[in-house]
Amino acid sequence: MTTPPLFAPVHTRSGRLACIGMGMTLGSHLTPLARSHIEQADVVFAALSDGVVEMWLQRMHPDVRSLQPYYQEGKSRMQTYRQWVELMMTEVRAGRRVCGVFYGHPGIFAWSPHKAVEVARAEGFEAHMEPGISAEDCLYADLGIDPGRFGCQHYEASQLLLFERRIDPTAYLVLWQVGLVGDRSLARFQTGSAYRQVLVDLLSRDYPLDHEVIIYRAATLPIQQPRIRRVRLRELPQVELPAEETVVLPPAAGLKPNLAMRERLAALDQLERESAPA
């Protein structure tokens, strides 16, 4: 008996799982490979951004089961996400080809797809995650941001409050789920202005209160335009902010040259020139 190569997956059971990304904008972001996973599935589970998108998906497959009804105010989102995993895995264990369809990218701010793939592989099933165009990808295009120019930091807003994190104000700062900032119950759909004030107080250590803040939401339907608003940091607590919107802080200071590193690199350049053949 030959031993399988190190790290190669061993599929011993007939069911299989694919968690795919629908992208952000209806229709235009779905890749041919993602479409094929949907069409070849026995059952499709859907966690999408809009009821219209879900209706569009139902035209592609006769058995689409919405995951959205499991969201309930006052119920922990983690309980909902665990239910999603169990729903998908029940069908996989029954030997069916299951496709989980998630808006954007299935691996970004999405606990259930990662967990479902992990559980399926641990139980000997074939499991695959297919990437999609994410809100982050749309943000770069719509706001004209190149993360390679100054650097870009991404934080979930509540994590920024609950843990000691280091902010670099010379780079872009992207904050996700600011509308839920400070919610430790995982059971609310939104937190109020007092919670956003706590976030502003933290950010004011590194940014002036009159610093421009961009509030962004990607378009989910082809007839829509991205929603882009610009306010001052001090105004953020008073602005209506759904959980789907993202907050971007442009750099507040210029990049500071690291003179010690530049001298070290110059010395290496000189050394290479001197040791090069004549």
Dihedral-angle region of residue 196 (phi above 0 means left; psi in -120 to 50 means alpha; beta otherwise): alpha
Is 140 marked active-site?
Answer: no
**pLDDT of amino acid 10:** 53
Stated pTM of the model: 0.88
Non-local (6+) Cβ contacts of 53 within 8 A are 22, 26, 103, 220, 221
Task: Determine whether domain 136-249 maps to CATH 3.30.950.10.
Answer: yes
Catalytic one among 77, 97, 196, 217? 77
Domain boundaries, the chain: 16-133, 136-249
Token pair in block for residue 26: 């209806």
Measured from the Cβ of residue 183, the count of other Cβ atoms closer than 10 Å reads 18
* Amino acid at residue number 23: G
Is 273 marked active-site?
Answer: no
Is 77 marked active-site?
Answer: yes
Which residue ranges of the chain lie beneath pLDDT 50? 1-8
Per residue in 17-52, pLDDT (tens digit) is: 999 999 999 888 999 999 999 999 999 999 997 889
User: Superfamily for 16-133?
Assistant: Tetrapyrrole methylase, N-terminal domain (3.40.1010.10)
**pLDDT of amino acid 277:** 85
Catalytic one among 16, 81, 97, 172? 81
Torsion of CA 57, 60, 62, 63, to 10 degrees: -50
Catalytic one among 97, 103, 195, 196? 103
